[in-house]
């Protein structure tokens, strides 16, 4: 297992020096966040990023993410140009030594929450999602909490794209994903990059927009769309675990047997309704997910790929990007390391 930590670049209040001091960390998960979706990444910027990480005594284990342009998801005539740029980016990343790329195929926006500062009984704050607070007006008015790197902020553009995705539907989105994979995965195979799709978060349709990477059947279908070893999955316990319908151990075993687990996000959630939850910190006792059970499966698989603690609570008065503070994610990583050592010792 390559224990890694997400870093948002030079402007991140969490520094590479901070991360290097967390016991067990060997890798960095990062991206070139200032580049827009659809651009071909410049070679010099890729190499500079790799050098910066290595100068801190760490390895760049995963690029998360190389964003997929909306025209690809919508199947527009311009998609081939953006796919060609994506292929170029993969070739340049591979030339710089990158071996894993995480991406998602979520329409319009990435993960979605209704609160970034939901207060827990211990006084810490965390990310939360309450389905009854989610509707189109809340999205257009900015009351829903999108990732800081979300670029779709113009309300008329949002309204237009909402309409397009609703009219398009899930079947067409699957077709567009297949088109993308059949163009990109052969290039990834050629250059030695493992592609890891991130499940949709939350794993259900939001404001009428289709979301398709949501459960075991969807992940099996994904693999069949382009049945090559490079076409794999980022197993995210928190995203999939937000739905009680998802049997996480079964999904992980399936993917492990198919050798399609290319990256792992480990975090816990506490489900508090059919489609409502908050992020509880990593301990099994605090959430709805058996973290040790998942770690034992990874140990049985002899999983040797990258893993990172995913979102964390904000604790001890820390200020910064909600979900991406240093302290709770560092505690989570230490906990996961302990579970890994115990699982390996049990055998």
What pLDDT was estimated at residue 154? 63
Catalytic-residue membership of 282:
no
- The number of beta carbons lying within 10 Å of the beta carbon of residue 12 is 18
Mean pLDDT of 13-42: 96
Integer Cα distance of 101 and 86 in angstroms: 11
The confidence band for 147, taking pLDDT boundaries of 50, 70 and 90, is low
What pLDDT was estimated at residue 149? 47
Mean pLDDT of 213-238: 98
Task: Select which of 82, 103, 324, 335 is catalytic.
Answer: 324
For tokens 């995480």, the residue is: 102
CATH class of 2-346: alpha beta
Mean pLDDT of 191-204: 97
- Torsion angle of the four alpha carbons 34, 36, 41, 46, in this order, in degrees rounded to the nearest 10: 20
320: left (phi over 0), alpha (psi -120 to 50) or beta: left
Catalytic-residue membership of 236:
yes
The confidence band for 335, taking pLDDT boundaries of 50, 70 and 90, is very high
Task: Select which of 200, 201, 215, 310 is catalytic.
Answer: 310
Catalytic-residue membership of 310:
yes
The 269-273 sheet, strands edge to edge: 115-119, 125-130, 276-279, 269-273
Catalytic-residue membership of 154:
no
Q: Which of 275-279, 290-294, 305-309, 343-347 has the lowest mean pLDDT?
A: 343-347
The confidence band for 152, taking pLDDT boundaries of 50, 70 and 90, is low
Task: Select which of 234, 278, 311, 328 is catalytic.
Answer: 311
Report the relative pairing of strands 261-266 and 306-309 from DSSP bridges: parallel
Task: Select which of 69, 176, 198, 262 is catalytic.
Answer: 198
Render pLDDT for 244-303 as a digit per residue (tens, 0 to 9).
Answer: 999 999 999 999 999 999 999 999 999 998 899 999 989 999 999 999 999 999 999 999
User: Any idea what the Cα angle at residue 6 is, between residues 116 and 100, rounded to 5°?
Assistant: 130
Q: For residue 161, what are the contacts with CB-CB under 8 A and spacing of at least 6?
A: 70, 107, 108, 152
For the cut 90, the answer to whether the pLDDT of residue 216 exceeds it is yes
Integer Cα distance of 17 and 39 in angstroms: 30
Q: Pick from 260, 271, 266, 314: which is nearest to 131 by CA?
A: 271
b/e per residue, 96-112, with b = 16+ CB within 10 A? bebbbbbbbbbbbbebb
Cα dihedral across residues 29, 1, 24, 242: positive or negative: positive
Mean pLDDT of 1-15: 96
Put simply, whether the predicted model's pTM sits higher than 0.85 gets the answer yes
Catalytic-residue membership of 265:
yes
Yes or no: say if 266 and 310 are a contact pair by the CB < 8 Å rule: yes
* Per-domain boundaries in the chain: 2-346
SS (H, E, C) the chain: CEEEEECCCCCCCCCHHHHHCCCCCCEEEECCCCCCCCCCCCHHHHHHHHHHHHHCCCEEEEEECCCCCHHHHHCCCCHHHHHHHHHHHHHHHHHCCCCEEEECCCCCCCCCECEEEEECCCCCEEEEEEHHHCCHHHHHCCCCECCCCCCCCCHHHHHHHHHHHHHHHHHHHHHHHHHHHHHHHHHHHHHCCEEEECCCCCCCCECCECCCCCCHHHHHHHHHHCCCCCEEEEEEHHHHHCCCCCCHHHHHHHHHHCCCEEEEEECCEEEEECCEEEECCCCHHHCCCCHHHHHHHHHHCCCCCEEEECCCCECCCCCCCCCCCCHHHHHHHHHHHHHHHHHHHHC
Q: Report the chain's terminal Cα–Cα distance, integer Å.
A: 15
Render pLDDT for 130-144 as a digit per residue (tens, 0 to 9).
Answer: 999 998 888 877 777
Integer Cα distance of 111 and 278 in angstroms: 13
Mean pLDDT of 193-214: 96
For the cut 90, the answer to whether the pLDDT of residue 151 exceeds it is no
Render pLDDT for 60-92 as a digit per residue (tens, 0 to 9).
Answer: 999 999 999 999 999 999 999 999 999 999 999
What pLDDT was estimated at residue 200? 97
Integer Cα distance of 272 and 268 in angstroms: 13
Q: What percent of the chain has pLDDT over 90?
A: 87
């Amino acid at each position: 297992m390559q224990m890694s930590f997400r870093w948002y670049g030079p402007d991140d209040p969490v520094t590479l020096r901070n991360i290097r001091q967390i016991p067990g960390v060997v890798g960095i998960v990062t991206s070139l966040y200032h580049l827009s979706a659809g651009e071909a990444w410049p070679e010099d910027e890729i190499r500079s990023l790799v050098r910066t990480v290595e100068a801190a005594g760490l390895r760049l284990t995963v690029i998360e993410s190389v964003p997929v342009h909306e025209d690809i998801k919508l199947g527009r005539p311009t998609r081939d140009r953006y796919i060609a740029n994506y292929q170029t980016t993969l070739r340049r990343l591979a030339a710089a030594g990158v071996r894993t790329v995480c991406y998602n195929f979520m329409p319009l926006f990435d993960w979605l929450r209704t609160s970034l500062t939901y207060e827990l009984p211990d006084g810490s704050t965390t990310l939360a999602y309450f389905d009854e607070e989610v509707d189109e007006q809340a999205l257009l008015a900015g009351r829903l909490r999108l990732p800081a790197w979300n670029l779709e902020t113009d309300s008329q553009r949002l309204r237009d794209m909402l309409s397009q995705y609703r009219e398009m539907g899930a079947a067409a989105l699957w077709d567009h994903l297949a088109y993308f994979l059949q163009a990109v995965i052969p290039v990834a195979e050629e250059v030695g990059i493992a592609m890891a799709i991130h499940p949709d978060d939350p794993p259900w349709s939001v404001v009428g927009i289709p979301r398709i990477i949501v459960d075991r059947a969807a992940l099996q279908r994904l693999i069949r769309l382009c049945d090559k070893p490079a076409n794999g999955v980022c197993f995210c316990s928190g995203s999939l675990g937000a739905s009680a319908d998802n049997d996480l151990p079964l999904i992980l075993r399936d993917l492990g047997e198919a050798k399609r687990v290319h990256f792992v996000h480990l975090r816990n959630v506490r489900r508090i309704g059919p489609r409502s939850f908050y992020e509880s910190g990593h301990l099994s006792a605090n959430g709805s997910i058996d973290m040790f059970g998942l770690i034992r499966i990874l140990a049985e698989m002899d999983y040797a790929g990258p893993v990172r603690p995913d979102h964390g609570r904000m604790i001890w008065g820390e200020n910064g990007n909600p979900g991406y503070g240093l302290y709770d994610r560092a505690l989570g990583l230490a906990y996961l390391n302990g579970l890994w050592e115990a699982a390996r010792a049990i055998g």
